[in-house]
Structure 1
């Protein structure tokens, strides 16, 4: 026996959503920075150093003198030798005048004095002598005055640039709800009729 069957098909409604996300953009412009550094004020006062070298004594010891000084020394030595010669000759003349008074051996003594020189021992001598060259050094002086100047800084900041786009949400009906009802094996015979549906 075929019993009637009721078929119900249901379709639920569906909601659709379209979402556009928000966008945030931040841009930070660089600050304008100007820096200038004035140079320092620098003053230098300097007294130069001085080196003095005196070699006159060393030149004298080495017989290295100028022509004027050499002539002066030779003239002085000549005067001294001439005076010594005059004195010696006068003394010898006085001795010769006394011969008639019985001064024996005067001529021999004068001859001996004029013939032989005294023995001079050999001596070593450093020429020029130590510290014959004299040095005098003045180191001078340096005075420095420095005044530093601070840097000049000018800064201009810029505000950040912010761009914001809001998010969007669109909601719509993507599928309608629906219900279908039908019958299987339903005849009018069952209802007292011969007709089959």
Structure 2
């Protein structure tokens, strides 16, 4: 007796996955920066130095005198000459009063007047520089510098981000199957 047989043959199903990977791109642009440096404020103030030189005494030594000084010196010279003349006349009068003591007073007086004193040597050094009077007042210089702060304008740029999401999709690589056979 033959018994029918049932034969079952199965093929399993194979599921495959198709994966598209995600793509992510990130870019960070540099910051935009504008910088400006204003010049410092510079203030300067000065007072001039003063030099005073008085050469009037040196100029007087080389006979370059002003009219007032020349007038004063001539008046003094005249006064001195008048006093010397009075003194000489008084001395001559004294000599004449003592004529009784002997001697020849008139001849002595004439000899004194006619015989000049020896003239001084004509060499004279003029312009003594130690007579120059100088005064100096020092000047000043003040400098004020005020620095200015830099002007910075910084723009921070946001990152550039591109993202493409990934995909997963299922694909049947092998479909399942069942085959049933009956054998008699």
Above 0.5 in TM-score? yes
Counterpart contact for 2:58–2:129, Cα < 8 Å: no
Structure 1: gaps spanning 5 or more residues = 1-24, 166-197
> 2:66 maps to what in 1?
66
In 2, Cα distance between equivalents of 1:40 and 1:144: 12
When the two structures are superposed, what TM-score results if normalisation uses the length of structure 2?
0.63
In 2, Cα distance between equivalents of 1:76 and 1:66: 16
Q: CA deviation at 1:102?
A: 4.1
1:112 pairs with 2:111: yes
Residues 26 and 124 of structure 1: CA distance in aligned 2, closer, same or farther (over 3 Å): farther
1:88-167 to 2 correspondences below 5 Å: 88-99=88-99, 101-122=100-121, 124-159=123-158
Structure 2: gaps spanning 5 or more residues = 1-24, 165-184
1:52 pairs with 2:77: no
Higher Cα radius of gyration: 1
Over the aligned positions, Cα root-mean-square deviation in angstroms equals 3.0
Residues 123 and 26 of structure 1: CA distance in aligned 2, closer, same or farther (over 3 Å): farther
Q: CA deviation at 1:153?
A: 0.7
Counterpart contact for 2:58–2:127, Cα < 8 Å: yes
Q: CA deviation at 1:62?
A: 1.2
When the two structures are superposed, what TM-score results if normalisation uses the length of structure 1?
0.59
Q: CA deviation at 1:83?
A: 1.0
* Residues 24-61 of structure 1, C-alpha deviations (whole Å, 9 max, x = no match): x9998775433232332333332321111010110111
* Structure with higher RCO (Cα < 8 A, 6+ apart): 2
Counterpart contact for 2:30–2:157, Cα < 8 Å: yes
Structure 1 SS opposite 2:89: helix
Residues 29 and 94 of structure 1: CA distance in aligned 2, closer, same or farther (over 3 Å): same
